[in-house]
Structure 1
Amino acid sequence: MPCGRCVKNKRAPQCIYADADSSPAVEPPTSEKEQDPLSVIATSFINSQWNPLVQNGSHWHSLLQQMENYLPQWPSQRTGPSLQQEKPVSRMVPTINYPFNGDTVGRGAIVRVLAQLPPRPVQELFVSYYLNSVEKTYHLLHLEEFDRELQEFWEDPAAKAEDWLAQYFVILGLGCQAMNYCSEESGNEAHRSMPTGFLRSAELCLKRTPYMLMTSLANVRTLIMIVMSKQMYAMSYHEADTCWPLTGLIVRLSIRMGLHRAAWKPYTQRSHEEKVKSQVWAVVLVLEMRQSLVCGMPLLLRAADISSVESNTSQTPSTGNTTLGDSRIDYGSFGNKDPIILTRLLAVSDDDLLFRAIELATSPMGGTPYSDVAAVDTSLRDKLYQSGIGLANSHLEADKPAKDIDLEVCMVQIFFRQVFMALHARFSLQPNASTEHPVSYVSSLESALAILAYQRGLCEGEKWAELSAWFAGFFRHEFFMAAMTVCSLLIRDLESTAVSSHTGFCETQPRKIMLDALQSCRDMWKKEKTWSVCNANAFALVDNLVCVLRHAHEQGCSIPL
C-alpha cells in the first residue's frame, strides 16, 4: 500500500512502497561500503564526496555556493533544509555511468572474482612483465605507492577499493599478455584464457565506481590501460576506431579532475601529488595525439593543453627502486630511470608547434599549402634537436646489443616519425612528388624507413627479444602505414622511369635497402598472420607488394599499373 504522504499528494502510483512485492527481493546492505555507489550518487542532489576540482562560474555548484552566503547556517548540515537528499519518486533511475553501465553488479561478485585469482607468485610474475614493458615506457604508476598498495592487497584483497582493483586487473591482463607471448615464442606453457578474464574483471570493478562523475586517478589509469589492451591483443582497425572516442573520454575525465592544471606549475614548485598527476597527464596527451594520428581524426585538445607540460631535466621523480615490504617484484631493474623523455616530448611544443603539425596532419585533404607543411617540418625538426630528443636514423639495429634498447626512446621516436609521415602524406604520395614536393617526399620516405628499422630492432633482438617483440605490438598500425608508404613511393618511382632523377634513384643501392626493409617487415607480419583477419590481410598485402617490387628490381623494369 502507498504511504499516506503520497496518497495525500495524489502520487500513490509513484510511491516506492506501492508495488514493492513485484520487485526481486534484495538483501539490504549491512554497511555503507556495500551500498551501490552509482545509485547513491544518481539519486542524491548533493554528495559530500564529490568535490570538483575544475569548474567555472557558470557551473551550478558555483552558483549554489554563492547562494549559500544568503542562507542561514544550519548546524550539521551543508546547506539549508530545502537541499537535503531525497529519494526519487520515479522507479526508473539510471546509474551515473549510463549508457556505458547498465548491468552493475554487487560487491559479492567482486569478492568471487578475487577468490578466483591465480596464486600470488603467478600474479607477481604478471606484474613484473607489465612493469618491465608498459610501465618502463609510460611511467603511469608511482612505484613506491603501488608497492605499498600491493602489500595491503596481499594482506586483505577484499579491502581494496573498486577503482584500485580495476587498475590492478588491467595490469595483470597486460602482464599476462606479455608473458603468454614470451612463453609461446619459447615453447613454454601459456595462460591463454587469463587475459580476457582479467579484462572482464577490470570492467566489472570499473562499473562499480562512479568514474563518469567522481573520477579518480586509478580510473584514468585503468581507462588508459584498457586502450592499450585494445591496441595490443589484435590488429583490428575496428578496435582502433573504438579507441579514438574512448581516448576522448579519458581526456575529458582527466581535465574534469584537474590533471591538466598540475602541469602548469614549474616542476620544482609542484607537490608530490601534482608531480604524479602531471606524469599521468603527459601519458593522456601522448595517447590522444597518437590515437588521432592512427585514426586520422582531429584532436580533442587545445594547443595550450599540449604545450603546458614542462620538461624536467634536473629533478628526478620518485618512481621506484624501492625495497618496501616483502614483494618479490624487482623494481630495481628500471626504477632508477628518470622519466623525462615522455614529458620532454611535449615540451618541444612551446610555440604550439606539435599541435600545429598534428592539426595539419589530421585536417581534411586539400586547402593546406605545401609551404606551410614544409615550414612546420623544418621548425619541428629544429625543436627536436634543441630539446635533446633528436631523430635517430639507426638507433635500433639487429646487431646492436639488446640491453641498449630503450622502450621509452622507441615510443618517442616512432611517435615523431608517425607525425612527420602523416604531416606529409597528402603531398608525398602524389605523382612526381620527388620533384614537385621534395621535402614531403624525402621526409615521408625517411620516416617510414626509420619506423621499419625500429620494428626490426624490437622484433629481432636477442636479450629480451620476446618481451620487446610483444611491446612492438603497440605500434602495429604505425608499422603497417610505414610499409604501405615505402611500397607506394617505390611503385610510383617505378612508374616514373622516364624521369632521370627517379631512374637514378631506383636503380641503385637505396632501392635494395628499402626492399630489404620491406622483406624483413613482411617476415615479421607472417608470424602474426593467424592472429586476426586484419593481420592476415596486412601480411597478404605486404607480401604481394614485396614480390612485385622484388621482381621489378631483379628485372630492372618498370611496373605497368
Structure 2
Amino acid sequence: MDTIQEHKIIGKKRKRRAALSCNDCRRRKLKCNRELPCNTCTKGNTAWMCTYSRDNECTLVNPDEGGSPRSLEVTEASFTAALPRHLDSRIVPQELAKLEKKRYELLEERVKVLESQLATISQGMVVEPPKSDEHSDDREPARIQPTALIGLLKGNNYGTFSYGPTSPVTIVVHFPELRPFMRSIYPSSGLQRVREEMRAWEDRVQPITPNSVLSVNRLRDLLPDRTTTELLINQYMDTFETTYRILHIPSFWDDYKSFWEAPLGADSDMEALVMAILACVLCTSTHETTRHNPNGSTFRSRAITWIRACEAWLKRQSNKHRTLAALQVRCLRLLALKTTCLKTKEIYQETQEHMGFVKNMGLHRDPNILGSRCSIFNGEMRRRLWATSLELELQASIDRGLPSATSNLEHDSAVPRNLNDSELHKDMQQLPVSQPTAVFTDSSFCHILMQTAATRIKLCQMTNGIKYGPNDKEITEYEEEINKALEKLPNWPDPRSTQVKTHLDLHLRQFLIILHTPRALQVSLGNKHQALYSTLACLEAAGAVVDSHYSLMKAGNFTLCSIRSDYFRAALVICHIAYHTNDDSSKIILRVVQAMFDDTMDKALALLEERCMRPGRGSHQYWYISAARSLVQIKLAPHRAELFKRQATDRVSRLLYKTLSLQDDPSEDFLANEVILANNPNYSEARSNPYATSELPVDPITNSGLRLDAQSLGDASEWMLDNFWFLDDFPTLQ
C-alpha cells in the first residue's frame, strides 16, 4: 500500500517553488530582501543589475519526461506569484506595467554604461570588468585603470635606445607640434651659419689631432699642482660629499697628509681616489674660466683623461681581494660620467653594472650578519656606500624611464645612522646612537633619504609600466605620502646644509611631477576635474623644481644642475601645459601659466646654458626648451610670431657662438682615448675585474673623428628629433 502511494506521489507533476529573490541574489545564493533594488545589489554597487525574472519562475518539472522543464504560458497571476511577498497583495495590472517599464529603464541605463565604457576603451583607457565571486557578499565596481605614458625608442634595428614614461624626452611624444616647428624655423637662420663655422673649425683641427693612447708612468703624473688639487678636493667635500656619502672624511685627510711626502713608487689607493675626486668635481668648479676645444670644454677633456686613468687603475685591481678604495673610485666614476656628459646614453647601463657589482659584494645585506668578520667602522661604511649606490641607480632609472633594479630585490641593509664622521673611527667597538633628524650631520642626507627609498622605488616601478600607470586612488595616496615627507624635511640653520636641503626636496618633489604628468598631458582621456587638479599640481611642482635649482646656481653651486635633469623635465611639462591650455574652460590654468611662464623659462634656460657650457655638451636640450618657449609665445600672442621664431634660433646661436669664441688649440693629452699605466707589469693579465673583460671604453664623441655631434646641427639627430619612433604616428592632442 505504501509502495503504491509512493509511486503515485512520484508520478505527480510538482510545481517548482517560486523563487522570490532577484536574479543576481538567486544566482549567487545570497539573502535578498525582495525590494527593487534589493539591499545586496545596493551594497555591491550593482543596483542597476537588480531584476526579477518571470520566465524561470513559472516552470513545471515532469519526472516522466526526464526532469526537463517546460514553460507555461506567462499570465498575470503567475507573474504576481513570482514577485516579492510583501508586494503581491498590492499588485494590480497597472502597477505591473509600471514595474515592467522600470525594468526596461534599468536595462537602458545598463546599455548606456556599457557604451560609455566602450568609448573609454577606444580612447586609450582599459576597463577592468568586475571579478565574479560566488562567495562574496559585495561586488567590486568596474575599475578604470589608466594606460601608461607612451615611451620612446630611438634608432633602427638593433641600434635602438629606449626611453620610458618618466624620461624627460618622453614628453616630446605628447608635444607633436614641437618637431615641425623646429624644422620650420631652422632653415636660413643663425643656426645654419654657426653650424658652417663649427664644421670649418672641425675640418681645420681634425688632421692634427689623431686619436691617441696616453701612456704615463704613474697616476701622479696626471695630477695638477698641490694647491689646485686641494682647492678641488675642498670643493668636493663642500658639495658632493655632503649628499652622496662615499668617503670617511677624517680618514681621507689623514692619508692625504702623507700622500705628497710619500716617495714615488707604485700607484697607491690614494692617488686613484684623489684623481677620481678631481674628475668628479672639475666641471662644476669655479676656480678658473674654462676654455673649449673640439672635444668640449678643457675642463671636460682633462676630467675625461682622469676618468680613463681611473679605469686603467681599476683594471689592475683584484676582484678577489677587493678594497674600500676600489669601491669608492667606482662610485666617484659614476658621478664623473654625469658631470662630464661622458657616455650619456650609457649612464643607465653603467649604473646597472655598478649595482650588479655591489649586489655581488652583498652590500644589500646588513653587515651585522657577518659578525666579527666585518668591523663596526667598515659595517657603517658599507651601509653608506649601499645607500649611495641605490640612489644613483634609482635616479638613473627614473631619468631613463625604466623600473629600478632594486624593485624586486630584498635588501635588509639598515639606514645609515645620522652621525658625523668624527664620531666614527676604525678601532671603535660600538656605533654611537643616531642623532635626531633635526640635528644636521655629515650623513643627514643618506639617513633621511633612505627612509623613503621603498616608496620611491615602488613609484619608479608603477610609473614606468608598459601597459598601466597608477590609478586615481594610488596617485592621491602617493601624493599625500610625498607631501608628508616634504613637510618633515628639517630646516637646518647650518649654512653647509643648503645643498642637502635642496637635494632632498628635489628627490621627493620630482615624483609629484611624474605622478601627475600622465593626467596633465592626456586631458582628453580622463576626468576634466582630475586633469585640472593634476595640471595645477604639475605647474606648482615644476616651478618649485626650477626655482630650487636656480637658487643653488646663483649661490655659485653648480653641482646639482650638472648631475640632474629634473629641471629639464619641469621646463618641458610647463611648455606643454602652456601650449595646450588657452581655451575658456581652463582660465585658471591660463592665469597661472601667464604669471609664471616667462620667469620660469628664463631660469630654466639659464640652468641649461650653464649645464652645456661647463662640459661643452648638451646644447640640444637648450634648443628644445628655446623652441618650445617660442612655440608657446606664438600661441599666446600670434601677432608677434615672427619675433618669437627669430628669438628661438637666436638664443641658441648666441650660446654656440660663445662656445666658438672660447676655442683653444687642442692638446694631444686632452684628446686621449685611453690611458695606459706603463709601470704595470701585469697589465695584460688583469682579468679579474669587470673592466678587464674588454677594451677600455672609448668616448664615442672623441672616437668619431672629433666631430661635434652634440653641436653640429646638420648631422646630430637629437637636434631635429629625428629617428625617434612614434613622433609621426600620433595625432596632435587637442
- Residue 250 (str. 1) matches residue 354 (str. 2): yes
- Equivalent residues of 2:387, 2:450 under 8 A apart: yes
Confirm whether residue 362 of structure 1 aligns to residue 464 of structure 2: yes
1:446 offset after TM fit, Å? 2.4
Structure 1 unaligned spans of 5+: 1-104, 322-335, 396-400
State the Cα RMSD in Å: 3.9
Matched, 1:378 2:480: yes
Asked if the contact 2:219–2:267 (Cα under 8 Å) also holds between the matched residues in 1, the reply is: no
Distance 2:254 2:536 in 1: 51
- Whether the aligned pair in 2 keeps the contact of 1:231 and 1:474 (CA below 8 Å) is yes
In 2, distance between residues paired with 1:199 and 1:358?
30
Structure 1 residue 205 corresponds to structure 2 residue 313: yes
Q: Secondary structure at the match of 2:364?
A: helix
* Cα deviation code 1:137-191 (max 9, x no counterpart): 2231001111122133223265676554333211122233333x442189xx986
What is the aligned partner in structure 1 of residue 578 from structure 2? Answer: 490
Aligned position for 1:78: none
Change (3 A) 1:533 1:196: closer
C-alpha distance in 2 between matches for 1:263 and 1:303: 21
Which structure dedicates a bigger proportion of its chain to strand?
2
What is the Cα deviation at residue 283 of structure 1? 0.7
- Give the drift of 1:292: 0.5
2:548 aligned residue (454, 478, 495) = 454
Pick one of 631, 646, 660 that aligns with 1:548. 631
Cα shift at 1:291 = 0.6
Moved more, 110-119 or 127-136: 110-119
User: Any idea what the Cα deviations from partners look like across 1:413-440, whole Å, max 9, x if unmatched?
Assistant: 1121223322333332112566244554
Q: Does 1:419 align with 2:517?
A: no
Q: 1:515 Cα deviation (Å)? A: 2.9
Q: Which has the larger radius of gyration?
A: 2
Whether 1:144 and 2:250 are equivalent positions in the alignment is yes
Contact 1:113 1:201 (C-alpha < 8 Å) held by counterparts: yes
Residues 227 and 510 from structure 1, CA distance in 2 versus in 1: closer, same or farther, beyond 3 angstroms? same
1:231-270 mapped onto 2 (5 Å cutoff): 231-234=338-341, 239-262=343-366
Measured at CA, do residues 367 and 545 of structure 1 come closer, stay the same or move farther in structure 2, by a change above 3 Å?
closer
SS in 1 for 2:581: helix
Structure 1 pair 148–242 and aligned structure 2 pair: CA distance change class (3 A): same
Cα distance change, pair 383–123 in 1 and its aligned pair in 2 (3 A): closer
Q: Distance in 1 between matches of 2:253 and 2:301?
A: 27
- Alpha-carbon deviation of 1:483? 0.5
Distance 1:233 1:157, change over 3 A: farther
User: Would the aligned equivalents of 1:173 and 1:198 in 2 still touch at CA under 8 Å?
Assistant: yes
Query: Is the CA contact (8 Å cut-off) linking 2:445 and 2:500 kept in structure 1?
Result: yes
Equivalent position of 2:587 in the other structure? 503
Measure the CA separation in 2 of the matches of 1:532 and 1:191. Answer: 7
Q: TM-score, normalization: structure 1?
A: 0.63
Matched position secondary structure for 1:273: helix
- The alpha carbon displacement at 1:556 in A equals 11
Preserved contact between residue 549 and residue 561 of structure 2 (Cα < 8 Å):
yes
Of Structure 1 and Structure 2, which has the larger fraction of its residues in helix? 1
Compare 296-305 and 194-203 and name the one that shifted more.
296-305
Write the distance in 2 (CA, Å) between the matches of 1:549 and 1:373. 28
Residues 486 and 264 of structure 1, relative CA distance in 2, 3 Å threshold? farther
Farther off after superposition, 529-538 or 412-421:
529-538
| 1:22-421 correspondence to structure 2 within 5 Å | 111-156=217-262, 158=264, 163-179=269-285, 181-184=286-289, 193-211=301-319, 213-234=320-341, 239-262=343-366, 271-302=376-407, 308-310=413-415, 312-313=417-418, 315-318=419-422, 337-349=441-453, 352-366=454-468, 368-385=470-487, 388-389=488-489, 403=495, 406-421=498-513
SS in 1 for 2:448: helix
8 A contact 1:220–1:253 mirrored in 2: no
1:485 alignment partner AA: V
Letter in 2 for 1:222: V
Matched to 1:522, the amino acid is L
Correspondence 1:441 to 2:535 = yes
Name the CA distance, whole Å, in 2 between partners of 1:146 and 1:359.
Answer: 37
Q: Is the 8 A contact 1:129 1:176 kept in 2?
A: no
Count residues in correspondence: 408
In structure 2, the residue corresponding to 1:285 is in which secondary structure? helix
The one-character-per-residue Cα deviations of 1:52-71 (angstroms, maximum 9, x if unpaired) are xxxxxxxxxxxxxxxxxxxx
Distance 1:542 1:357 in 2: 27
Q: Deviation digits for residues 305-364 of structure 1, max 9, x if unmatched?
A: 577533635x4443799xxxxxxxxxxxxxx83312222111135xx4232212112222
The structure-2 alpha-carbon separation of the partners of 1:526 and 1:147, relative to structure 1 and needing over 3 Å to count, comes to closer
Q: For the residues of structure 2 that align with 1:383 and 1:264, how far apart are their CA atoms?
A: 29
Verify: 1:481 aligned to 2:563, yes or no. no
**Matched position secondary structure for 1:154:** coil
- Give yes or no for contact 1:428–1:444 (8 Å, CA) kept in 2: yes
| 1-structure distance, mates of 2:314, 2:235 | 23
